[in-house]
Structure 1
Amino acid sequence: MSEAMPEDAIEYWDETTRTYYERQEDGAVLSRPYNEAENAQADARVNRAILIEDFKESTLLLSADNASNTAFSALAEISDDELKAQINALTVQSSRQAVVLAAMVRFLLGRFESLATEVR
């Protein structure tokens, strides 16, 4: 009997150990490692969770970026140091947004691959 499988479950997929458990009619529990398809699905779930966390973190930075850009735009006079600092800030923002966009594309393509119909 497996400690990982809940007592009332007939089937159980243990994501941590990537083991599938099945309770037989006599109460015996059989187990096996995930097959290729189950491993691919588990990998996809992990990757999706990472992308979503990255999106959440990145969106928090967007409001700070907007506030910084608005404050710079409101300056009446701009020194060379302020201009250089703003160029550096915009470069960082642009690089961060490129990473977010690439992650979003990977996320969306993953969603399209899961559709039953062909997307053209």
Structure 2
Amino acid sequence: MTEIMPEGAIEYWDVTTRTYYERREDGMILSRPYNETENAQADAQVNRLALVDRLLRASQANANDAAENAVFLTRSEPTSTDLLSQMQALTRQSTRRSEELSGLLRLVLGRLESTALVIS
């Protein structure tokens, strides 16, 4: 077990196995599974990373949305097919914006127990 802990460390939290290690003064290493609080903190960290990743990807998509919308606005006489296509694009964009807002709210409020859209 000594290879699990970094040399010289007194405490070590292994996030992969969710195991806590402690080096005693005599050099002996004790281990135990994460407790309820530590598991909740680990879950929150995983959820935070997922939310941030989702928001970064959505941010990149926003630039594409703006470019596509700008192209549509240059059309002087859009066809009904053009209008239907734009309406579908705007609906997708709106859905993504609501997902972004939910993710941002979770981050701002520190509600990291989940990545769900609805905060209860």
TM score, norm. by length of structure 2: 0.88
Secondary structure (helix, strand or coil) at the match of 1:32 reads strand
The percentage of aligned residue pairs carrying the same residue is: 52
Residues matched between the structures, number: 111
5+ long unaligned stretches in structure 2:
112-120
User: Which consecutive aligned stretches of 4+ in structure 1 deviate over 2 angstroms post-superposition?
Assistant: none
Cross-structure match for 2:103: 103
Cross-structure match for 2:67: 67
Ranked by relative contact order (alpha carbons within 8 Å, sequence separation 6 or more), the top structure is 2
Secondary structure (helix, strand or coil) at the match of 1:78 reads coil
Cross-structure match for 2:7: 7
5+ long unaligned stretches in structure 1:
112-120
What pairs with 1:47-58 in structure 2 (closer than 5 Å)? 47-58=47-58
Deviation, structure 1 residue 76:
1.4
Distance in 1 between residues matched to 2:96 and 2:74, nearest whole Å = 24
Distance in 2 between residues matched to 1:3 and 1:18, nearest whole Å = 16
Secondary structure (helix, strand or coil) at the match of 1:76 reads coil
Q: Output one character per residue of 1:39-79: Cα deviation in whole Å (capped at 9) or x when no partner.
A: 11111111101000001100000000000001101111111
Q: Output one character per residue of 1:1-52: Cα deviation in whole Å (capped at 9) or x when no partner.
A: 3432112211100001111101111111001111111111111111101000
Provide the alpha-carbon RMSD of the alignment. Answer: 1.1
TM score, norm. by length of structure 1: 0.88
